[in-house]
Chain A
Amino acid sequence: MSAVPLLKVNDVSKFYGSRIGCRNVSFELYPGEVLAIVGESGSGKTTLLSCLSTRLMPTSGIVEYHMRDGQYRDLARMAEAERRFLMRTDWGFVHQNPAEGLRMTVSAGANVGERLMAIGDRHYGNIRAAACDWLTRVEIDEDRIDDQPRAFSGGMRQRLQIARNLVTSPRLVFMDEPTGGLDVSVQARLLDLVRGLVHDLGLAAIIVTHDLAVARLLSHRMMVMKDGAVIEQGLTDRVLDDPREPYTQLLVSSILQV
């Protein structure tokens, strides 16, 4: 068991004016750990994810990341250049809408290769080979490498976004409703793919979802949010099989059985 956390979150709050986004959230994430954040719309899941991934500046609290050099760095105090470098190398961010995470008017291969070029790869042949390899891993035919994502289906776009994020071997990936908006058979394929990749690559991930089945399948640990606060957390199996809080019990009992 790895002894030091990858991410340390201490008492993070975010207010939009007087309105609460999220409040007093603290936790630690270890390498290889997958954390699901669940809760209804407006419960603060995405706000929290944005605060953790430096897309938003928390109103108070500290988020620290264990850099590859072995030092913890306060993300809010990081220089812009360093922050950007971190985001495109050691981190990934998978958006619900692939159009936000992809460049829709450049080829699929370039979408994947771009992240490699950003970390200094210059050999065209190597970049294209890596792009090919990743397209295959996310089950996109190699002969689509020169097509633009505009010509892809929703499920393919989402898989391409995942390839783009994972090509630099990140240690931490943020996902915001990665299966939202996909039909169920496509969802199943994507879930299986993400599950396999997370396992094979030993990724740590923070996944925001309102789908408890997704949380059960992908995550080790779960946090339930309501009105901006974390009301219950623990082992995913425990939270889902033995929910303690009234709201969690309501969530779990509201799942439709097929």
Chain B
Amino acid sequence: MATPLVVSEVAKSFTMHLRDGVRLPVVANVSFSVKAGECVVLGGPSGVGKSSILKMLYGNYGVDEGQILMEHDGRLVNLATAEPRMVLEVRRTTLGYVSQFLRVVPRVSALDIVAEPLQARGISVEEARERAAELLAKLNLPKELWGLPPATFSGGEQQRVNIARGFITDHKILLLDEPTASLDAKNRAVVVELIAEKKAEGTALVGIFHDEEVRDAVADRIIDVSEFSPRKQAA
């Protein structure tokens, strides 16, 4: 089976120059891979570096050491060293991300925020909006809200917009940072269903889920991130 994502000996630390240059090690020696159709869940207590790993995979955090290899457009790309426009290209066609919080753009409607990743891939506005509407309906977002910018939405409503935006494409790798954190049971079930569909389509998923019920429903494998914590290795 194909393995679209391989993480090899990745290390990350922060140097806080405003705090007299104190160096905070975050993770070291992170190695794992994700197969097509597999959902790998990053587990472990808060502050152990789960989100940092996801952010490195998406390119928001720099990587000190190691490689993040993704299968993109028929070849391997090392996201740890790729130049910015390559990272953006990978994000456009291969790598999706559902963040914990929605970054709202002034004046852009919920429907267009969801449709945007499809339009970026050259799909017509009408078709992209149609697909966006289907997803928002599935996630039970009231139709009255679709035309509004999500700045004033509740946490759960914003999160559903974010989920729809992440799930709308057929990206081969999808990163999920607590997508169900502020959802009610009914919508959590919808997300579990969407994840199952992605797995069936052969998407490689990496996620963080604090909700045990959701985690048990979607996870093929749980990686204990505290094993990568330098603090544990030192102890």
In the complex, what residues of B have CB within 8 A of residue A234's CB? 62, 84
Q: Are A220 and B17 in contact (CB under 8 A)?
A: no
Residues of B within 8 A of A241 (CB): 55, 60-61
Q: Which residues of A contact B195 (CB under 8 A)?
A: none
Bound-complex Cα distance A30 to B86 (A) = 12
Can you name the residue of chain A whose Cβ is closest to the Cβ of B89? A1
B48 CB to nearest A CB, Å? 18
Contact with B along A196-232 (1 / 0, CB 8 A): 0000000000000000000011001100000000000
Chain A interfacial residues counted at CB < 8 A:
25
A120 to B63, CA, bound (A): 52
Determine whether the beta carbon of B88 is less than 8 Å from that of A220.
yes
Q: Helix, strand, loop or mixed for chain B's interface?
A: mixed
Q: Are B62 and A242 in contact (CB under 8 A)?
A: yes
A244 to B23: give the CA distance in the assembly, Å: 12
A242 proximity list for chain B (CB < 8 A): 14, 55, 60-62
B 10-32 to A, binary, CB cutoff 8 A, 1 in contact else 0:
00001111100000000000000
> Count of B residues near A, CB < 8 Å?
22
**B85–A221 contact, CB under 8 A?**
yes
User: Does A245 touch B at the CB level, under 8 Å?
Assistant: yes
CA distance A159 to B165 in the complex (A): 30
**Which of A237, A241, A244, A250 has the most CB atoms of chain B within a 10 A radius of its CB?**
A237
The 3 A-B residue pairs with the shortest CB-CB distance, nearest first, are A188-B106, A246-B17, A235-B84
CB pairs A–B below 8 angstroms (28 shown): A30-B85, A188-B107, A189-B106, A189-B107, A192-B105, A192-B107, A217-B105, A220-B85, A221-B85, A234-B62, A234-B84, A235-B59, A235-B87, A235-B88, A237-B60, A238-B59, A238-B61, A238-B84, A241-B55, A241-B61, A242-B60, A242-B61, A242-B62, A244-B15, A244-B62, A249-B16, A249-B17, A250-B17
Interface, chain B (partner A; CB < 8 A): 14-18, 55, 58-62, 84-89, 103, 105-108
